[in-house]
Amino acid sequence: MPQQVPRLLAVFAIAAAGLLLARGVLIPDTFGDLGHYRAAAVDSIAARPVKYAGRQVCGACHVDVEAQQVAGNHRGVSCEVCHAPAAWHASDPMSGKPAINRKRDLCVVCHAFNPSRPTGFPQIDSLVHNPRLPCIGCHTPHAPVPPETPRECGACHGGIARQKAVSPHANLECTTCHDAPQAHRDNPRAHRPTKPAERAFCGACHAGMAPEGPIPQIALESHGQPNLCWQCHYPHYPETSR
Amino acid sequence: MQGYIYPNEYELQWSLLIVLYPYITGLVAGAFILASLERVFNVREVQPTYRLALLTALAFLLVAPLPLQAHLGHPERSYEIFMTPNKQSAMAMFGFVYAWYLMVVLLLEIWFDYRRDMVRWAREARGWRRWLYYGLTLGATDVSERAVAFDESAGRWITIIGIPSAFLLHGYVGFIFGSIKANPWWSSVLMPVVFLFSATVSGIALVLVLYMLSSMFRWRPINMACLEKLSQFLFYALVVDFSLEALDFIHRLYEAEESIEILAQMVESRLFLSLIVLQLLFGTLIPLVLLGAFSPGLRKGGFIRASAELKQLVFLTSAVLIQIGIFSIRWNVVIGGQLFSKSLRGLTVYKVELLGIEGLATTLGLLILPFVILWVLVKILPPWPEEAPGPAPSP
Amino acid sequence: MTDQGLDRRAFVGDLVAACLAAGGPVLLGAIRMAEGQAPAGAGAGYDPADHYYGMGIDVAKCIGCARCVAACKAENDVPPGPHHFNTWIERYVLRAGGEVDVDSPNGGLDGFPPLEGVGDILRTFFVPKLCNHCANPPCVQVCPVGATFITPDGVVLVDDQYCIGCRYCIQACPYGARYMHPEKHVAGKCTFCYHRLVKGLVPACVEVCPTGARVFGEVEKQPTPLARFLRFNDIQVLKPNLNTKPKAYYANLDGEVR
């Protein structure tokens, strides 16, 4: 055997032995127990401190508030959304009280008007809705209701009102097209407003008037049959053909 | 920033250091492939560069892990790649591919090639150099014909194993990017192949530059047959590299998948300088024309008859432009892949730091370091053909 | 000859001793009892084998208040500041001409700037985003050292003590859910509040959501809110073509959401 071979083999053997020794020393004990990872990591993550106690914990002591809340409009709102994480208080109630922000800037986080919020979510325009007054002056936070029935449709249907306001239909009242009983304002889902059910309704303005007048005219018998008008045109901001 | 990026995407994850790493391993792979041309494919003309190419590969290989270490959040834990590699991860293979290539391929090949000369230098030297050379021989001082023939044969086999190993060393880097389905700029079957061929191009170009510069510094004449052969291989490699990149480009435009809009915006705005100007024009098209005209690639003696001095200038210029171009490719891949959002709706910016561990200064230092190491290696193991005859030509 | 023989035997003896000394720890390390164990810190009787978690998100209920983002930052010590989030809210505005604008200023924590040109809005909505805790996670696949993993109960976690900070997992996540922690220099992401799950609590974001847009529970057939959610909604996941098998299930998800 040439002289080179045993010497090279010795070098590689030492390197391999070194690697094996290192593996025995350096690989953590729990590695591979549950998978290709250090199982002890799961334990250390599981042992992290909890900051939010959760509604059930609050309700265990604050029974009356919880009872008020589950019956009201904020039944889905967890205590700690407004009162900040309070696990520290739950584990030692005498050590202090969780903070609460009683100013307007808390409530508007959810309730300021934003067109991207889903339709039907109660929203106000903070600039005009009792400006500068604290919300809790009129609305009890644990079971909020509007202190009086809304006067304008736009109070709840803010998105529609704002779109209509910049559309050709801006000067039409909502009640021009929709019959909205007073009961709708008090119990919206139980008493729904109506929608026009015939083409002739829109035709009252959009057919049979002077063609050169301000209102666009169409031939009612043929235009867009057999659809109802609002099946193609969004009434609150109507599209027009090119 | 323009358009929309996910909030967590604001910070680029892989910086200039990660651009540097594939560039360096590319040079290693390319230089080795050039050396193997002589050894395995008997391309006699490039024999003067054989040992220089090996030492260049070694110098760059030693520096290769440094940008990675500098980039890691916890470099002190980097040993974990050897201890608990995740077999599903391409990056985990780095440790083993690197170790294999360094120990089994490069160091062994250099050792076998130089052993006879190291024995001779050990006998001729005095003082600490004598012990250095003796140590390097590992005590295998038999220089009989049989022992030297064994060196020859072993070196040849190692080179044969070394070629796919070099492909693996750089190809896996391409796979690291190419296998990320989350990133449409990276995710491509061609990525490992493009990386590999651009590595070959950069390695040959580097050895060409080093051969010319070292000859000039040593006041030795440049062997024009060697230089022309190098330029010929450089030309062929560049043609293949360009074809692969053109294929990727055409394929992307043709399929016009969802990501095409944001990627086109990115190329036109963020990557215009580095991709269109540096990579394409200066790094590929101009060298293609120069090498096509002056190297023996297309026609023996070159299309344009020129003096040796002019050819040397043209080849040197082409090789330098190619280096810039290949570095730009790495930049465009690594940084480009992070300049657009995975939401496909926005672009962000990368501001290179000047100082700091991931900054320009560190990068320049890491680029200079291999040349320093090469200088030391050249002093210890002179690769020049005149001073120590290289391996006998294979039968 | 005899001296050489003695030398050889002594050498072999030394070699065997060295191998045992080295092999000892290797053997000890190789003997492992692989069994599922309840994590320390768990409530009494928590068995990971009983659970496989997922989250449901109803886009139609999200009001974009970002209380979930705030709660997550408080519960999990997420780095403050606009560039690191475990969860965030995106606002989509689709206009009549076909343009789509998306924004997420500070993840939604500062509210969203008012929209211009309300008239030509076609659809607009908020989408909560978070780590999808994929059943086929690309981030786990690419981690070179096994520092990120999916637990038997379906939660993808990061081992802070083992992560080397290579950032490969952050690159591999198609959803932008991961980030590099600026102080710990390891990867960070949503943990489904694992430390709460083992005590029978829900994640902080689910706890605080005022409209019930986030729903949490078991993916497999068990009586949790997620079961009803999956039954009564048309469900989408993000980037299904990548086959990551996400476990964040979206109801009423618009096709423009990426």
Q: Taking chain A, what is the end-to-end CA distance rounded to the nearest angstrom?
A: 92
C-beta atoms surrounding A33 within 10 Å: 17
Instruction: Test A4 with B82 for CB contact under 8 angstroms.
Output: no
- pLDDT for B177-229, tens place per residue? 999 999 999 999 999 999 999 999 999 999 999 999 999 999 999 999 999 99
Q: What H or E segment, with its residue span, contains residue A87?
A: helix A87-91
Detail the DSSP E strand segments found in B243-383.
345-347
Give yes or no for residue C16 having a pLDDT over 90: no
Q: Taking residues C102-113, what's their average pLDDT? A: 96
Give yes or no for residue C2 having a pLDDT over 90: no
Question: Half-sphere exposure of C250 toward its Cβ, with a 13 Å CA cutoff?
Answer: 23
What's the pLDDT at C31?
41
Contact list in B for residue C127 (CB cut-off 8 A) is none
Enter the tokens of residue C121.
């809005």
What's the pLDDT at C37?
65
Nearest to C176 among B74, B89, B342 (CB): B342
What's the pLDDT at B265?
96
What's the pLDDT at A80?
95
**CB of C146 less than 8 A from some CB of A:** yes
Helix axes C2-30, A4-26, angle to 10 degrees: 30
CATH 1.10.287 assigned to domain A50-97? The reply is yes
What's the pLDDT at C25?
44
All residue ranges of chain A with pLDDT < 70 are 242
Q: Taking residues C159-180, what's their average pLDDT? A: 97
- d(C-alpha A160, C-alpha A235), whole Å: 10
Give chain C's mean pLDDT.
88
Residue from B55, B378, B43 nearest B207 by CA? B55
- d(C-alpha B131, C-alpha B121), whole Å: 10
- pLDDT for B66-77, tens place per residue? 999 999 999 999
C-beta atoms surrounding C87 within 10 Å: 27
Distances (CA, A) of B3 to B346, C45, C99, C101, C182: 4, 49, 12, 8, 25
Contact list in C for residue A24 (CB cut-off 8 A) is 22-29
Are B16 and B352 in contact by the 8 Å Cβ rule? The answer is yes
Which residues does residue A242 pair with via DSSP β-bridges, in sequence order? none
- What is the nearest CA distance from B345 to chain C, expressed in angstroms? 8
What's the pLDDT at A146?
85
What's the pLDDT at C56?
98
Give yes or no for residue B1 having a pLDDT over 90: no
Q: Taking residues B318-343, what's their average pLDDT? A: 97
Q: Taking residues C88-108, what's their average pLDDT? A: 96
Instruction: Test A81 with C67 for CB contact under 8 angstroms.
Output: yes
- For chains A and B, CB pairs below 8 A equal 40
Q: Which domains does chain B have, with CATH numbers?
A: 13-380 (1.20.1630.10)
**CB of C254 less than 8 A from some CB of A:** no
Residue from A9, A2, A23 nearest B103 by CA? A9
Cis peptide upstream of residue A226 (ω within 30 degrees of 0): yes
List every span in chain A annotated with CATH 1.10.287.
50-97
Is pLDDT larger for residue B395 or for residue C82? C82
Q: Which of B276-290, B306-320, C10-24 has the lowest mean pLDDT?
A: C10-24
**CB of C36 less than 8 A from some CB of A:** yes
- What is the nearest CA distance from C236 to chain A, expressed in angstroms? 19
Most confident range, picked from B294-308, B318-332, C115-129 = B318-332
- pLDDT for B20-61, tens place per residue? 999 999 999 999 999 988 888 888 888 889 999 999 999 999
In the stretch 185-214 of chain C, residues with CB closer than 8 A to chain A read: 191, 194-196, 198-199, 201-202, 204, 207-212
Detail the DSSP E strand segments found in chain C.
53-58, 87-95, 100-103, 121-130, 148-150, 156-158, 179-180, 187-188, 214-218, 235-236, 248-251
Which residues does residue C54 pair with via DSSP β-bridges, in sequence order? C217
Q: Taking residues B254-273, what's their average pLDDT? A: 96
What's the pLDDT at B392?
47
Nearest to C165 among B72, B89, B183 (CB): B72
What's the pLDDT at C3?
46
What's the pLDDT at B395?
47
What's the pLDDT at C30?
41
Which residues does residue C187 pair with via DSSP β-bridges, in sequence order? C180
Q: Taking residues B318-324, what's their average pLDDT? A: 96
Give yes or no for residue C32 having a pLDDT over 70: no
Residue from C149, C150, C181 nearest C165 by CA? C181
Give yes or no for residue C5 having a pLDDT over 60: no
| Percent of chain B with pLDDT strictly greater than 70 | 97
What's the pLDDT at A28?
94
Q: What H or E segment, with its residue span, contains residue B3?
A: strand B2-4
Q: How far is CA B352 from the centre of its chain?
A: 23
Question: Half-sphere exposure of A150 toward its Cβ, with a 13 Å CA cutoff?
Answer: 20
What's the pLDDT at B61?
95
